[in-house]
Structure 1
Amino acid sequence: MLSILSITGPIYLAILAGFLSVRAGLFKASDMRLLGGFVLYVALPALLFSALSTKPFGEIIRPGYMVAYLLGSLIMVTLGYTYSRLVRGQGAARAGISAMGMSCPNSGFVGYPLGMLIYPDFAGVVLALNMLVENAVIIPLLLALASQQKGASPVTAFLMAAGRLVRNPLVIALALGLAASLLPFELPSVLTRTVGLFAGAAAPVSLFVIGGTL
C-alpha cells in the first residue's frame, strides 16, 4: 500500500497544489490556460526532443509496442464513433470528437507524470511513441471522420488534418528528436542542458494546471 502511495501521492499533491493556489487567489483560473499553453507548446516539445535526441534510433523505435498501441486506439475509435453515431444519434462532427475523447489518452498531462514516477528512464520515450502514433494516424483519422459532415472526402480531410498537424510544436519536436538520434555525434551540452531545463517543467506544471482547472 505504501509503495502505491509513494507513486500516486506526489501526483495528487501536485494537483492539490494547483487547486489550492487558484482557490487562495494566488492564480486566476484563466492563468491556467497560459500555463497549459506553456506545457503544450514549450515544455512537452522540449521533453520529447530531449528524450529522443539522447538515445540511439534503434533504442527508440519499438514496432511491437507501436502496433499494439495503434490497434488498441483503432478499436476504441471504432467503438466510440459507432456508439456515438448509432446509439446517441450524433452527427459526423460530434461523433468524431466523442470518439477522440474515448480513444486519445491524456499522455502528456497525466500519463507522463505517472510514468516518470514508475519508470523514469523510459517515460519520455514511451510518451514520444504514443504521440507519434496519435499524431500520425489517430488524430488525422478522427478529424477526417469529423469533417465528413462538411462535404469533404475522407481522404482529403485526412490529408488536410495531417498537414495542420505537421506545424504542431509536438510533431516538430518528434521529428527533430528522431533526426538527432540518427546523428553520429552528440549534440552540444549547452543545447541539451537548456532543452532539459524546459523538459523538467513538463510533469509538475501539467499536474499543477490540472488542479488549477478543477
Structure 2
Amino acid sequence: MLFDTAQLNPQEIYRLLVGGVTPRPIAWISTLSKTGVANIAPYSFFNVASCNPPILWYSQVNPRDGGDKDTLVNLLDTKECVVHIVNAQLLEKMNQTCASLPAEQSEFDFAQLEQCTSHSVKPPSVRGTLVRYECTLREVVRFSSLPMGGSAALLDVKTIFVDDAVWLDGFINQAQLNSVGKMGKDFYSLTNDLVELSRP
C-alpha cells in the first residue's frame, strides 16, 4: 500500500502515523491550573530535545473541536510541569487519566492517584513513579490550530528524580524501570525482553 497524504483526511493520517511510529515513550505530565486544580495526562508524542541544556519536548494533537488541552493551557498559564515516566505498575492508573474530564475536575482525584510534593515546581508528582522530570516551559511551537493539528512544547528540565531502586552504577537500570511504550490503537508495549548491543 502507498498513501499520498494529500489524498487522506486527518484521521486517516493519524492512524498511519501512530500505528507505525512505535513504540513511543509516554510523558505523563502533571500541571496546575491558575486556580490550583491538579491535572495529569499522558502524551506519547514525546522525547529528549537537548542534553546541554537539558530540554524535553512533547506535542499535543489538537482536539477535534480545536483549542488546547488542559495540560497546555496550564503550562501557558503557570509555566511549570512534572513529566513522569510510566512503568507497568502504573499503566492502568495512567490509562484512567486519558478520560476527557472538565478542566475543573482533577485527574489525580478521578484516578485515585497518590500525590507527593515536587522538589522545584508547584505541580504535584505521582508517588510511586520511578523517574520524573520537573520542568519549566521554554517555548511553544504552533504547527496548526486546526482540529488534529499540533503544538509542541519545549520544557527546560530543572530537577530529575530517580528512585534509588532503579539507580545502579551511575545509570538508570532499564530492567528495573520497566517502562511502557505506546503502540497503535489501544495497545501498549511492555519491557519484557531487553537486548544489549555494543556500538561498533
TM-score exceeds 0.5: no
* Larger RCO: 1 or 2 (CA < 8 Å, sep 6+): 1
- From the two aligned structures, give the one with the greater helix fraction: 1
TM-score, normalized by length of structure 2?
Answer: 0.24
TM-score, normalized by length of structure 1?
Answer: 0.23
- From the two aligned structures, give the one with the greater strand fraction: 2
